[in-house]
């Protein structure tokens, strides 16, 4: 049975910070961000936009009324949970109006959990072929003002509809995972921003890539020449470029190497304008590749490298389905260019604002008119979401 990604949706916030402005304000050479990290802009989410609203917005783009009657599992992969108990997927299930006899839960392992969610979805559909699973990877990456990771922050969600006979990508049963108990990046329950051993984390990312790739090739008898493109987890694109160079097979022809590099360049276009969206970042790279590459064709095999600090890494692959391009959009970059630009001062205010709860644990929010879904209030510690009515 062919199982894979039938649809992919993406949502980010409506605000953007240009990194040239951040560099100027922080007194650093803008080339450090544009060339050293390969970053241009980052999405900034206000209080009314969180992993629930972003996840619901991404899913809304891809689901039909019929899908909502068939989906029987909703998984949200995230490391920016809004509740220690209730899963974001339960809120999203309700907002989207998915039929009630579904399983909804959250999965966590830093940026990696979306990959585990996809594999669980695949196993579920193997057992129940008529089912469809909604997998959402939704995160808001906040490192803090003047933190080394500040220019790599971001906000966004990817939604993927997983089914049999998918119209975009068919999974190959070839996942190879690796776990390492390390402290490269972590966020204790009492902290709103992560603790990061930055340089160590980059070394671990690259070493996990190299060793998992070696094991993947050994187990499956595959070489880089078998792939049209490799997508990487994108904490910032420069690190992934180092990853590509690390696994580049010098015995490939110049033409083959050029094609892999060209597809890599297409895979980072969205992340360069959105930032790190943790669990969704690998799949944002995949979407960017599929919507912008000019040399991909049906049957092409794409490798995906997932990395979550802590750490878990995984490599798996999927093949493009005939007609995949009809399921995608071509104006995503234009949409990103329509976000409202923030000054550094307004970014600091908006991104790090905390809800000011009254003595009853309540607060009412405003300023969400241009969102699709919004957190409109906290009422006695209960988060209240709506679908924003648009004037007709
Ligand atoms: P930094 O201060 O930007 O480090 O922090 P840097 O001084 O090494 O500079 C970065 C690059 O800019 C270097 O290039 C410099 O040479 C270059 P490289 O040597 O790497 O090729 N540079 C310049 N280039 C041109 N013109 C200039 C110039 N100046 C310098 N004038 C760091 C980098 C990664 C430490 C920081 O961004 C950070 O802490 N980020 C957060 C952690 C992170 O992203 N780690 C990645 C691996 S872990 C991961 O992927 C998991 C994660 O997504 C979380 C999860 O799983 O949940 C993060």
DSSP-assigned states of every residue in 111-128: BTHHHHHHHHHHHHHHHS
pLDDT > 90 fraction of the chain, expressed in percent and rounded = 99
Give the mean model confidence (pLDDT) for residues 59-65: 98
pLDDT at 392 over 80: no
Phi, psi at 265, each rounded to 5°: -60, -35
- Taking alpha carbons only, the member of 102, 99, 164, 106 closest to residue 136 is 106
Q: Are 89 and 106 in contact (CB under 8 A)?
A: yes
Residue whose Cα lies nearest atom 2 of ligand 1: it is 148
- 233 has catalytic annotation: yes
pLDDT at 87 over 80: yes
Task: Show the tokens assigned to 248.
Answer: 């580049």
Between CA 96 and CA 86 the distance in angstroms is: 17
pLDDT on residue 50:
98
pLDDT on residue 365:
98
The residues, ordered by sequence, that sit 6+ positions from 197 with a Cβ below 8 Å of its Cβ are 183, 184, 185
In a 13 Å sphere around the CA of 269, the CA atoms on its Cβ side amount to 20
Q: For the full predicted model, state whether its pTM sits above 0.95.
A: yes
- 60 has catalytic annotation: no
Give the mean model confidence (pLDDT) for residues 2-19: 98
The two counts, helices (H) then strands (E), for the chain are 13, 18
Between CA 238 and CA 277 the distance in angstroms is: 15
- Taking alpha carbons only, the member of 40, 85, 68 closest to residue 134 is 68
Measured from the CA of 31, which atom of ligand 1 is nearest? 26
Q: Are strands 132-141 and 154-164 parallel, antiparallel or unpaired?
A: antiparallel
Between CA 92 and CA 136 the distance in angstroms is: 10
pLDDT on residue 391:
80
Tell me the average pLDDT of the chain: 98
How sure is the predictor about 152, in pLDDT bands with cuts at 50, 70 and 90? very high
Give the mean model confidence (pLDDT) for residues 356-373: 97
pLDDT at 20 over 90: yes
Greatest Cα pair distance in the chain: 68
Q: Are 16 and 337 in contact (CB under 8 A)?
A: no
pLDDT > 70 fraction of the chain, expressed in percent and rounded = 100
Give the mean model confidence (pLDDT) for residues 103-120: 98
The residues, ordered by sequence, that sit 6+ positions from 123 with a Cβ below 8 Å of its Cβ are none
Which residues have any ligand 1 atom within 6 Å of their CB? 29, 31-32, 35-37, 79, 110-111, 148-149, 152, 184-185, 196, 198-199, 201-202, 205, 233, 235-236, 239, 276, 278, 307-309
pLDDT on residue 94:
98
Please, what is the angle between helix 344-351 and helix 19-26, to 10°?
100
Other beta carbons within 10 Å of 82: 17
pLDDT at 390 over 90: no
Instruction: Report the length, in residues, of the chain.
Output: 392
- Taking alpha carbons only, the member of 13, 12, 305 closest to residue 157 is 12
pLDDT on residue 206:
98
pLDDT on residue 120:
98
pLDDT on residue 297:
97
| Residue 135 DSSP label | E
Phi, psi at 364, each rounded to 5°: -115, 135
Between CA 42 and CA 12 the distance in angstroms is: 10
- Taking alpha carbons only, the member of 312, 270, 376, 379 closest to residue 49 is 376
pLDDT at 172 over 80: yes
pLDDT on residue 271:
98
Q: Are 312 and 112 in contact (CB under 8 A)?
A: yes
pLDDT tens per residue across span 245-267:
999 999 999 999 999 999 999 99
Looking at 49, 79, 106, 291, which residue is catalytic?
79
| Residue 14 DSSP label | S
Mutation test residue for ligand 1: of 51, 178, 198, the one with most atoms within 8 Å of CB:
198
- 291 has catalytic annotation: no
Decide: helix, strand or coil at residue 301. Answer: strand
Residue whose Cα lies nearest atom 42 of ligand 1: it is 198
pLDDT at 42 over 90: yes
Q: Are 103 and 73 in contact (CB under 8 A)?
A: yes
How sure is the predictor about 26, in pLDDT bands with cuts at 50, 70 and 90? very high
């Amino acid at each position: 049975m062919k199982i894979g990604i039938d649809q992919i949706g993406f949502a980010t916030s409506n605000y953007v910070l240009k990194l040239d402005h951040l560099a100027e304000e922080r007194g650093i050479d803008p080339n450090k961000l544009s060339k050293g990290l390969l970053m241009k802009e980052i999405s900034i989410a206000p209080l009314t936009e969180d992993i629930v609203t972003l996840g619901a917005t991404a899913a809304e783009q891809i689901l039909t009324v019929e899908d909502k009657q068939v989906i029987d599992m909703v998984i949200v992969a995230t490391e920016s949970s809004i509740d220690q108990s209730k899963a974001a997927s339960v809120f999203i299930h309700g907002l989207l109006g998915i039929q009630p006899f579904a399983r909804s839960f959250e999965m966590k392992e830093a940026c990696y959990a979306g990959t585990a969610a996809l594999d669980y979805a695949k196993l579920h559909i193997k057992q129940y072929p008529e089912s469809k699973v909604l997998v959402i990877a939704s995160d808001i990456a906040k490192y803090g003002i003047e933190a080394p990771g500040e220019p790599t922050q971001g906000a966004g969600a990817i939604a993927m509809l997983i089914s049999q006979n998918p119209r975009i990508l068919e999974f190959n049963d070839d996942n190879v995972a690796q776990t390492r108990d390390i402290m490269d990046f972590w966020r204790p329950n009492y902290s709103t921003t992560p603790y990061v051993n930055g340089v160590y984390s980059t070394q671990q990312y690259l070493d996990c890539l190299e060793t998992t790739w070696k094991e993947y090739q050994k187990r499956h008898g595959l070489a880089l020449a078998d792939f049209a493109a490799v997508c990487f987890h994108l904490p910032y694109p420069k690190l992934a470029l180092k990853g590509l160079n690390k696994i580049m097979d010098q015995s490939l022809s110049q033409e083959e190497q050029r094609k892999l590099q060209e597809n890599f360049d297409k895979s980072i276009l969205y992340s360069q304008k959105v930032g790190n969206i943790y669990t969704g970042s690998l799949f944002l790279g995949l979407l960017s590749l599929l919507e912008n590459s000019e040399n991909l064709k049906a049957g092409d095999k794409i490798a995906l490298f997932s990395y979550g600090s802590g750490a878990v890494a995984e490599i798996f692959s999927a093949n493009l389905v005939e007609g995949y391009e009809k399921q995608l959009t071509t104006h995503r970059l234009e949409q990103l260019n329509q976000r409202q630009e923030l000054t550094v001062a307004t970014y600091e205010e908006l991104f790090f604002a905390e809800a000011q709860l009254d003595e009853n644990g309540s607060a009412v929010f405003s300023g969400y008119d241009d969102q699709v879904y919004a957190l409109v209030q906290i009422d006695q510690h209960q988060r209240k979401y709506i679908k924003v009515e648009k004037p007709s």
